[in-house]
A and B are shown apart, each in its own frame.
Chain A
Amino acid sequence: MISLTHLQRLEAEGIHVIREVVAETERPVMLYSVGKDSAVMLHLARKAFFPGPPPFPLLHVDTTWKFQDMYRLRDRVAAESGMRLLVHHNPDAMARGINPFDHGALHTDLWKTEGLRQALDLHGFDAAFGGARRDEEKSRAKERVFSFRSGNHRWDPKTQRPELWRLYNARKGPGESIRVFPISNWTELDVWQYIQAEAIPIVPLYFAAQRPTVERDGLLLMVDDDRFRLRPGEVPVTRSIRFRTLGDYPLTGAVESTAATLPAVIQEMLLTTTSERQGRAIDHEAGASMEKKKQEGYF
């Protein structure tokens, strides 16, 4: 008898979900954010369709404010996978010069939420894979693997379909689309262990190194390029830091760390006392804010 480990079973489930979507939808796309969860999801897709490439493109809804390391890995990984990479920039946000320094919440709203809607509508995608996990946040615990969105990309928690056994109902009306989460049942530890077991490439920023930083509003920010606006009196200080999540560099808090290898990162994660999303400025609002954002179409 061959006994399957929890990672093998999670992998099998993720591959099954990805194949179901390809079998039952017209134009699927994989949202690729360059983070570790995206890396795992993409790896599952490549395994699902081997020896061919996954039969759908990657979509990066970009804000132009990601870390430079992220852009480098994105382009390399897309080339290796043999998949088409689509990069979308919200032209409106671009024209108005929306940026994280001047525009606060509007920055996320326009570049990410609105940008995602634009990109999906522009290409007519009817199913989009996302790397969200149920353990990230309370409202996610109830999200389905197949999550239906109305014609204007809104999420209604009351009309989600029951999901029994491995049976997913992917039928939808005109204009409706689906968000699909193949790694719903993975935890942060599962993701790390799988990255280690499968030697999946991830952005070097997850590992500790000496980097230029400033401390601002309780977050430790990295000065990733010369667009970073230093406030009066701020002087970048080199610290040994790494990131637990990756987003727009002016909005993503680092942690001081010396964990430079995967086992060390996992060790730190297991012994740490704050949860993963705390590094993201977006989640510091009231308890149910993620749910509100999802109803409006945030991924």
Chain B
Amino acid sequence: MPSPSYEADALIAGDIDAYLERHATKSLLRFITCGSVDDGKSTLIGRLLYDSRTIHDDQLAALEADSRRIGTQGGAIDFALLVDGLAAEREQGITIDVAYRFFSTETRKFIVADTPGHEQYTRNMVTGASTADLAVILVDARKGILTQTRRHSYLVHLLGIRHLVLAVNKMDLVGYDRARYDAIVADYRAFAAQVGITGFVPMPISGLAGDTITSRSANMPWYEGPTLISHLETVPLDIAADQARPFRMAVQLARRPNLDFRGYSGLIAAGTVRPGDPVRILPSGRTTRIARIVSFSGNQDAAVAGQSVTLTLEDEVDCSRGDVIAAADSPPEVADQFEATLVWMADEPMLPGRSYLLKLATQTVSVQIQAPKYQVNVNTLEHLAARTLELNAIGVANLSTDRPLVFEPYAESRELGGFILIDKIGNATVGAGLLHFALRRAANVHWQAIEISRAAHAAQKNQRPRVLWFTGLSGAGKSTIANLVERRLHAMGRHTFLLDGDNVRHGLNKDLGFTDADRVENIRRVGEVARLMTDAGLIVLTAFISPFRAERQLVRDMLPAGEFVEIHVDTALAEAERRDVKGLYAKARRGALSNFTGIDSPYEPPGQPEIRIDTATMTAEQAAEHIVDRLFALRDEAAFSI
């Protein structure tokens, strides 16, 4: 029985202009459907597309053919096939990613995020939920509330979705039993309260049979609530609520197409803006007023959250990509240390201490994440101790950025509180996060102004401070060569200090082991110590395997340009293993030593080291001489003197 929502054909045929006028003013709702493999999620989405006439006859013909060939409904139409996409997953009978579907009714257009129900679920569901206003949580009426139901509910709540529908599906398979439905709703209400979900709309449905989808079902006269479609058509939109909040726009582009025009383009994250409004540019804090809202069809009187606009300002203030233009009297915060929830999305686990890129709105900064305070078991919601986060893990950690971020807590703003994490070397998106709050530390710990400057320390020693960073396999000869270089420099009257891997591990880093996470922290600490020593004016030599490019880059980034000298002591693995000065390779091969670089832990050679030493063609003495010549030739030294 078609509902009024789709009784449009007569109007389309009879008065297309009236129809178009009505459809020009539709609103847009994005929602996500959550359910595990057998809850009937694909069937429900297929049903929504089917009922809304989004499926054309030729697609229907293909669907009918597919249903006979590979369907699960005994030859009857298998709506699930309609929304199954990639070839690989079609063969396996599972969906492996987030897909977006579209349908519309008389009053709204809908974008549905369809996410799969297997182990990659967390990553995909978080992705789909990040843009949704509403979530439909599907429960199989025969099974009731499952572990997955709890997980889905936790995730959509975490991502800030305020409108939840509990769709008790497959009511046809339990004889449309009201007692069964009431029991499931009561169960869910108890659980929801635990998680902090304050409200949800329950409804008994059948995706397959079509009950309570577009119209009330004759099979369930006892149900008096809304149908799924009528609820989707009337639920309030987040974007409307966003307009009531103070104005914020992250600047995407500062544009100057000609000398007379300087405009700032972006998508309004919250609030309303009008010419003359006082605004504050963050993080600088400068204030000015909006001059014009420029658009293709003339200047606008106002613009609101959700619109992409170009603004001009009354004063020539510094404002560029990454800055946020905000209501002058209630600006967002600026900080560089935060607590956040992280969702890990990469096969490679999160490494505390490693430097990642963080993108929030239009700001991209370097960030270091501390070891998680805890990880959340998404099934039981227990807090577990964790040293790192693996794929699909969710945890809470502190993080610090290399530049101040303009932000709002995620609970207040998705746009200024949600961020992604990007691997600096591989460029993949490895995680996502939700900012909770700024750590007060960031506001209270200031850099102590020091009167004897870095330059003064270096000038007194008449040398340019530098870090000579020796990297290479265990047994390559790093310590030997570094020692010889230091002896020569010492003889030349240079002020030096050698940090050796083994020695540091006896003291400063004796709490660290050899896992990837510990190796990263090991190098970070050594980098910080080396940097302090260069502040004191010293030439620092370090001899560490330092197997990962990312951490060597991290140390390079800590120092002024030109002060980090990467020296690759390049020895073939077979040769290092043949020498085996400390007997470690033999031990590793026996399995008595794990995470040994070159054996069961990777070594990433430098791409373009400042100096490369080939130990097959040079003795240690020759290598030391070569390094000193390259770096401390008289001419060079004069240039470096400060």
> Nearest CB to that of A162 among chain B residues?
B127
B418-A138 in contact (CB<8A): no
- Which residue of A8, A52, A161, A184 is within 8 Å of B258 (Cβ)? A52
B102-A20 in contact (CB<8A): no
**What would 13 A/B residue contacts be, using CB atoms closer than 8 Å?**
A2-B243, A10-B28, A12-B306, A23-B362, A49-B257, A138-B83, A162-B420, A165-B414, A167-B420, A193-B24, A196-B20, A263-B16, A287-B90
A264-B239 in contact (CB<8A): no
A interface footprint on B55-81 (CB within 8 Å = 1, 0 otherwise): 011110010001000000000000000
Report if A275-B56 is in contact (Cβ < 8 Å); known contacts: A6-B108, A20-B252, A47-B295: yes
- Which of A65-73, A84-92, A169-177, A215-223 is found at the contact surface with chain B? A169-177
- Which residue of B12, B87, B88, B90 is within 8 Å of A267 (Cβ)? B12
A169-B12 in contact (CB<8A): no
Q: Say yes or no for A11: interface residue by CB 8 A criterion.
A: yes
B26-A6 in contact (CB<8A): yes
- Which of B93-101, B214-222, B486-494, B572-580 is found at the contact surface with chain A? B93-101
- Which residue of B27, B99, B111 is within 8 Å of A3 (Cβ)? B27
CB contacts under 8 Å to A, within B22-39, are 23-28
Task: Report the Cα distance A139→B90, complex, angstroms.
Answer: 11
Q: Say yes or no for A187: interface residue by CB 8 A criterion.
A: yes
Q: Which residues of B contact A134 (CB under 8 A)?
A: 99-100, 102
- Which residue of A15, A51, A139, A275 is within 8 Å of B257 (Cβ)? A51
- Min distance, Cβ B14 to any Cβ of chain A, angstroms: 10
A165-B418 in contact (CB<8A): yes
A47-B307 in contact (CB<8A): no
Q: Which residues of A contact B429 (CB under 8 A)?
A: 161-162, 169
Task: Report the Cα distance A129→B345, complex, angstroms.
Answer: 27
Task: Report the Cα distance A12→B249, complex, angstroms.
Answer: 13
A266-B20 in contact (CB<8A): yes
Q: Say yes or no for B233: interface residue by CB 8 A criterion.
A: no
B28-A9 in contact (CB<8A): yes
Report if A142-B98 is in contact (Cβ < 8 Å); known contacts: A4-B307, A16-B308: yes
In the A-B complex, list the 4 residue pairs whose CB atoms are closest, starting with the nearest.
Answer: A52-B257, A288-B87, A15-B308, A273-B57
Task: Report the Cα distance A138→B252, complex, angstroms.
Answer: 32
B239-A4 in contact (CB<8A): yes
Report if A6-B109 is in contact (Cβ < 8 Å); known contacts: A12-B307, A19-B253: yes
A163-B127 in contact (CB<8A): yes
CB contacts under 8 Å to A, within B297-324, are 302, 304, 306-308, 310, 321
- Min distance, Cβ B286 to any Cβ of chain A, angstroms: 22
A16-B16 in contact (CB<8A): no
A193-B20 in contact (CB<8A): yes
Task: Report the Cα distance A6→B110, complex, angstroms.
Answer: 9
CB contacts under 8 Å to B, within A92-143, are 134-135, 138-139, 141-142
Q: Say yes or no for A260: interface residue by CB 8 A criterion.
A: no
> Nearest CB to that of A134 among chain B residues?
B100
Report if A270-B308 is in contact (Cβ < 8 Å); known contacts: A19-B265, A51-B257, A165-B130: no
B296-A46 in contact (CB<8A): yes
Q: Which residues of B contact A172 (CB under 8 A)?
A: 427
Q: Which residues of A contact B307 (CB under 8 A)?
A: 4, 8, 12
Q: Say yes or no for B509: interface residue by CB 8 A criterion.
A: no
Q: Which residues of A contact B308 (CB under 8 A)?
A: 11-13, 15-16, 19, 48
- Min distance, Cβ A81 to any Cβ of chain B, angstroms: 12
B23-A193 in contact (CB<8A): yes
A142-B90 in contact (CB<8A): no
Q: Which residues of A contact B255 (CB under 8 A)?
A: 49, 52
> Nearest CB to that of A259 among chain B residues?
B16
Q: Say yes or no for B230: interface residue by CB 8 A criterion.
A: no
Task: Report the Cα distance A162→B87, complex, angstroms.
Answer: 20
Q: Which residues of A contact B85 (CB under 8 A)?
A: 138-139, 141-142
Q: Beyond A20-B252, A48-B265, A157-B88: 14 further Cβ-contacts under 8 Å?
A: A2-B243, A5-B26, A9-B306, A51-B258, A138-B85, A142-B86, A164-B420, A166-B267, A167-B360, A169-B428, A190-B109, A263-B16, A266-B16, A287-B90
Q: Say yes or no for B141: interface residue by CB 8 A criterion.
A: no
A7-B24 in contact (CB<8A): yes
Report if A9-B239 is in contact (Cβ < 8 Å); known contacts: A163-B127, A169-B427, A271-B9: yes
Q: Say yes or no for B355: interface residue by CB 8 A criterion.
A: no
> Nearest CB to that of A1 among chain B residues?
B243
> Nearest CB to that of A145 among chain B residues?
B100
Task: Report the Cα distance A114→B428, complex, angstroms.
Answer: 27
A270-B12 in contact (CB<8A): yes
Taking residues whose C-beta sits less than 8 angstroms from the other chain, chain A's interface range is 35 or more
B306-A1 in contact (CB<8A): no
> Nearest CB to that of B108 among chain A residues?
A6
Q: Which residues of B contact A15 (CB under 8 A)?
A: 267, 308
Q: Say yes or no for B232: interface residue by CB 8 A criterion.
A: no
Q: Which residues of A contact B359 (CB under 8 A)?
A: 167, 169
Q: Say yes or no for A245: interface residue by CB 8 A criterion.
A: no
Q: Which residues of B contact A270 (CB under 8 A)?
A: 8, 12, 19
Q: Which residues of B contact A248 (CB under 8 A)?
A: none
Task: Report the Cα distance A2→B293, complex, angstroms.
Answer: 15
A142-B97 in contact (CB<8A): yes
A50-B267 in contact (CB<8A): no
Task: Report the Cα distance A157→B59, complex, angstroms.
Answer: 23
B240-A1 in contact (CB<8A): yes
> Nearest CB to that of B421 among chain A residues?
A169
CB contacts under 8 Å to B, within A154-201, are 157, 159-167, 169, 171-173, 184-185, 187, 189-190, 193, 196-197
Q: Which residues of A contact B428 (CB under 8 A)?
A: 159, 161, 169
> Nearest CB to that of B28 among chain A residues?
A6
Q: Which residues of B contact A209 (CB under 8 A)?
A: none
- Which residue of B9, B26, B56, B100 is within 8 Å of A141 (Cβ)? B100
Q: Which residues of A contact B455 (CB under 8 A)?
A: none
- Which residue of A20, A23, A51, A162 is within 8 Å of B123 (Cβ)? A162
Task: Report the Cα distance A296→B111, complex, angstroms.
Answer: 29
CB contacts under 8 Å to B, within A252-286, are 263-264, 266-267, 270-275, 278
Report if A291-B87 is in contact (Cβ < 8 Å); known contacts: A3-B240, A185-B102: yes
Q: Say yes or no for B432: interface residue by CB 8 A criterion.
A: yes
A138-B84 in contact (CB<8A): yes
- Which residue of B56, B86, B304, B420 is within 8 Å of A291 (Cβ)? B86
Report if A165-B252 is in contact (Cβ < 8 Å); known contacts: A6-B27, A50-B295, A197-B24: no
> Nearest CB to that of B29 among chain A residues?
A6
CB contacts under 8 Å to A, within B176-206, are none
Task: Report the Cα distance A108→B80, complex, angstroms.
Answer: 32
Task: Report the Cα distance A193→B255, complex, angstroms.
Answer: 30
Q: Which residues of A contact B266 (CB under 8 A)?
A: 19
- Min distance, Cβ A27 to any Cβ of chain B, angstroms: 16
CB contacts under 8 Å to A, within B87-138, are 87-88, 90, 97-102, 104, 108-109, 111, 114, 123-124, 126-127, 130-131
Looking at B240, B361, B428, B429, the one whose CB has the most chain A CB atoms below 10 A away is B429
B100-A275 in contact (CB<8A): no
Q: Say yes or no for B13: interface residue by CB 8 A criterion.
A: yes
Q: Say yes or no for B415: interface residue by CB 8 A criterion.
A: yes
Q: Say yes or no for A214: interface residue by CB 8 A criterion.
A: no
- Min distance, Cβ B248 to any Cβ of chain A, angstroms: 13
- Min distance, Cβ B105 to any Cβ of chain A, angstroms: 11
- Min distance, Cβ A269 to any Cβ of chain B, angstroms: 10
CB contacts under 8 Å to A, within B353-401, are 357, 359-362
Task: Report the Cα distance A23→B267, complex, angstroms.
Answer: 14
Report if A22-B419 is in contact (Cβ < 8 Å); known contacts: A7-B24, A185-B102, A271-B13: no
